[in-house]
């Protein structure tokens, strides 16, 4: 059924979710969704505004900061609500990553009076989260970052990221010559890098350094005098390593050519014994769930916040992360409601509101 046919029987929390999913918000085009969030806070007597980079700020009790990203990856998935035997499923781009967590956090922030920030650009360069920490915002008591973990899961760790561009140039020459040209230098470097980080096959993916070339261009220059190669590469870095460790190891394999390292995000691993992790486990059990502790092989804005703030953090949100960026992205409204309840419970435990 269409969204409009369901609108009258949706709760206020569900209407916010449906509205946000219905507003296209790929990275760089978050403005309309940000305005809807501001309207939601103002309708509930909360001050909110859009900052210089497009983040939605709704400061309040800063013992807890709820934050998730407004942007989605591109993709046109028709927004509709599917009726099943025991649930309703909301289909649409962003329903899982991460409009579901974003809406749930906005609702919980309104209900409990804690701080909220909706950030932009997470899917491309995390410019929203970087702006938050670079602008000198005071460190909150705890951070709950919004990404899909399932309503009964909390994510404690993410691998980091190192990205760079390898460039090499050699003189052109007849292909019968035995000396390496720039293309071979690039291929040799990458083969050595992969050998350097070749993992034990039994090592979990989270604990490995994953090496990926993401683009490759090479050939003879237009003037015919040189051979050039350019290769963009990325490394996913587990907490066992620092970004500097991986960079040094990759640079150590160079035998011709150079690498311009242009992006780095440190890995993060939080303790399951922090006050916020304990509050989530208690809240999930209180809602009838069995808490799951997760580690993710990608990165998130939690990496950005953890690199500048020393407060306890977790990542949480409704949705199956296997549906991130997928053409069949959809979210259970029952799970969404459960996640709102868990977030409200957590915030009350951390602010003393349940006493």
Q: Which one from 30, 122, 123, 147 is the annotated catalytic residue?
A: 122
Strand partners, 216: 231
Q: How many Cβ atoms sit within 10 Å of the Cβ of residue 200?
A: 8
Task: Please confirm, yes or no, whether 290 is among the known catalytic residues.
Answer: no
Please give the Cα distance from 96 to 20 (Å, whole number). Answer: 12
Nearest to 131 by CA among 304, 1, 336: 304
Active-site residue (options: 71, 185, 337, 345): 71
Label residues 121-143 b or e (16+ Cβ within 10 Å = b): bbbeebbbbbbbbeeebeebbbb
The DSSP line for 207-252 is: GSPEEEEEEEEEEE-TTSSEEEEEEEEEEEE-TTS-HHHHHHHHHT
Any catalytic annotation for residue 354? Answer: no
Residues linked to residue 80 through DSSP beta bridges, in sequence order: 91
**Helix, strand, coil proportions of the chain in percent (round to 5)?**
35, 25, 40
Residues known to be catalytic: 71, 122
């Amino acid at each position: 059924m269409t969204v409009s046919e369901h609108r009258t029987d949706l709760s206020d929390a569900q209407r916010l979710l449906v509205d946000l999913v219905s507003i296209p918000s790929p990275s760089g085009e978050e403005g309309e969704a940000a305005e809807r969030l501001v309207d939601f806070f103002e309708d509930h007597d909360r001050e909110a505004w859009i900052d210089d980079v497009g983040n939605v700020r709704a400061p309040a009790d800063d013992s807890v900061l709820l934050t998730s990203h407004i942007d989605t990856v591109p993709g046109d998935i028709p927004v509709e609500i599917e009726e099943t035997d025991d649930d309703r499923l909301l289909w649409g781009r962003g329903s899982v990553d991460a409009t579901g967590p974003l809406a749930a956090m906005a609702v919980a922030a309104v209900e409990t009076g804690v701080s909220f920030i909706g950030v932009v650009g997470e899917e491309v360069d995390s410019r929203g989260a970087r702006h938050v920490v670079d602008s000198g915002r005071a460190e909150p008591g705890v951070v709950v970052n919004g990404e899909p973990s399932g309503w009964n899961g909390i994510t404690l760790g993410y691998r980091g990221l190192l990205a760079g561009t390898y460039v090499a140039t050699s003189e052109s020459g007849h292909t019968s010559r035995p000396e390496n040209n720039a293309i071979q230098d690039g291929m040799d470097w990458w083969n050595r890098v992969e050998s350097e980080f070749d993992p034990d096959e039994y090592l979990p993916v989270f604990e490995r350094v994953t090496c990926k070339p993401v683009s490759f261009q090479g050939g003879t220059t237009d003037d015919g005098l040189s051979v050039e190669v350019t290769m963009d590469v990325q490394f996913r870095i587990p907490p066992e390593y620092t970004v500097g460790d991986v960079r040094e190891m990759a640079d150590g394999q160079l035998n011709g050519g150079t690498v311009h390292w242009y992006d780095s995000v440190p890995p993060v691993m939080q303790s399951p014994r922090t006050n916020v992790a304990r509050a989530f486990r208690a809240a999930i059990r209180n809602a009838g769930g069995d808490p799951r502790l997760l580690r993710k092989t990608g990165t998130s804005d939690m990496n950005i916040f953890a690199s500048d703030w020393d407060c306890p953090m977790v990542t949480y949100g409704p949705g199956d992360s296997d549906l991130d960026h997928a053409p069949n992205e959809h979210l259970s409204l029952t799970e969404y409601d459960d996640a709102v309840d868990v977030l409200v419970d957590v915030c009350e435990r951390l602010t003393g509101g349940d006493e």
